[in-house]
């Protein structure tokens, strides 16, 4: 994994291992790790969505539980595409675009090391995949509902260390209560972002239409004269 520098909520720069920065179905995401593992060896992975604001990438933390559950389903599909060496909906992106992007309270999950290795494979460089995981084993993952934004998610193996019937299991954290205003502010931010983006696009379209009309007027009547001339 290559290194990338990010900025935390206190504006301090920190370095992480980049798992993948990519688009999936026209939405951009960043997955990185600090190489934290639990007693079972599962790797902690941070996942954030990358939006564009005024032409610059910005980080969005996925607090909504329904959206977070969809992200887990997306990860399975991404792993399958990487393993199959296809690029149906997956498009890798240049990490230089998000160098030192600000990350605030990222949400994370824990992934079996074998699947985490696949998730980071063939990113920007061609690599041979030698991890033995069947497509059906990935399909058999079961995603359970996640109750609170700071719950952890662990992809577990069944007995005998096989990948059959893999499940994702929520882990309750101590004192997981989050003030309502923090979650609503984050959600409202995304809604506001898209509203402003739509308004800007409408203004750009109106401006372009006005300029076209002006050019047509000039072509027909010539340059406009300033008052008093």
Residue-wise pLDDT tens digits, 104-115: 999 998 888 888
User: Is pLDDT above 80 for 146?
Assistant: no
Residue 103 is predicted with a pLDDT of 95
Given this model, what pLDDT does residue 219 score? 74
Identify the pLDDT of residue 154. Answer: 46
Question: Does 156 have pLDDT greater than 70?
Answer: no
DSSP assignment string, 4-28: EEEE-TTS-EEEEEEEEEEEETTEE
Measured CA to CA, the distance from residue 79 to residue 74 in angstroms comes to: 9
pTM for the model stands at 0.61
First to last CA, the chain: 68
Query: Does 18 score more than 70 pLDDT?
Result: yes
Give the pLDDT confidence score for residue 130 in this predicted structure. Answer: 56
Question: How far is the C-alpha of 84 from the C-alpha of 70, rounded, in Å?
Answer: 21
- Calculated CA dihedral for residues 175, 179, 180, 181, nearest 10 degrees: -160
Paired tokens of 94: 């240049």
Give the per-residue pLDDT at 147: 39
pLDDT of residue 86: 84
Higher pLDDT, 215 or 59: 59
Residue 123 contacts by C-beta under 8 Å, 6 or more apart in sequence? 18, 19, 20, 22, 92
| Token pair for 73 | 């389903």
Q: How many Cα atoms occupy the beta-carbon half-sphere of 229 within 13 Å? A: 5
**Per-residue model confidence (pLDDT) at position 111:** 87
Per-residue b or e along 79-98, where b marks 16 or more CB atoms closer than 10 Å to that residue's CB: bbbbbeeeeeebeebebeeb
At 14 the pLDDT is 95
Q: How confident is the model at residue 89 (pLDDT cuts 50, 70, 90)?
A: very high
Q: What is the pLDDT of residues 169-228, one digit of tens each?
A: 444 333 333 333 444 444 455 666 667 767 777 787 777 778 787 777 777 776 656 555
- Say how many CA atoms lie within 13 Å of 121 toward its Cβ: 21
Q: Which position has the higher pLDDT, 31 or 202?
A: 31
Per-residue pLDDT at 59 exceeds 90: yes
The chain-wide mean pLDDT, for the chain, equals 75
Give me 27's structure tokens.
Answer: 């939405």
């Amino acid at each position: 994994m290559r290194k990338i520098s990010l900025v935390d909520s206190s504006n301090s720069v920190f370095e992480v291992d980049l798992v993948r920065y990519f688009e999936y179905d026209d939405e951009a995401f960043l997955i990185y790790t600090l190489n934290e593992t639990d007693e079972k060896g599962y790797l902690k992975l941070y996942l954030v969505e990358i939006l564009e604001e005024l032409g610059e990438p910005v980080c969005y933390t996925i607090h909504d539980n329904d959206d977070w559950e969809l992200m887990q389903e997306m990860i399975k599909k991404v792993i399958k595409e990487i393993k199959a060496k296809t690029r149906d909906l997956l498009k890798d992106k240049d990490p230089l675009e998000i160098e030192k992007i600000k990350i605030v309270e990222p949400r994370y999950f824990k992934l079996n090391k074998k699947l985490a290795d696949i998730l980071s494979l063939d990113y920007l460089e061609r690599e041979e995949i030698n991890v033995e995981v069947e497509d059906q084993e990935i399909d058999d993952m079961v995603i359970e509902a996640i109750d609170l934004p700071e719950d952890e998610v662990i992809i577990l193996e069944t007995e005998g260390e096989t990948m059959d019937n893999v499940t994702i299991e929520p882990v309750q954290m101590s004192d997981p209560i989050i003030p309502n205003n923090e979650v609503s502010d984050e959600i409202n931010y995304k809604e506001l972002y898209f509203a402003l983006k739509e308004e800007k696009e409408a203004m750009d379209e109106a401006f372009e239409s006005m300029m076209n009309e002006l050019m047509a007027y000039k072509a027909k009547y010539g340059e406009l004269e300033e008052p008093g001339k």
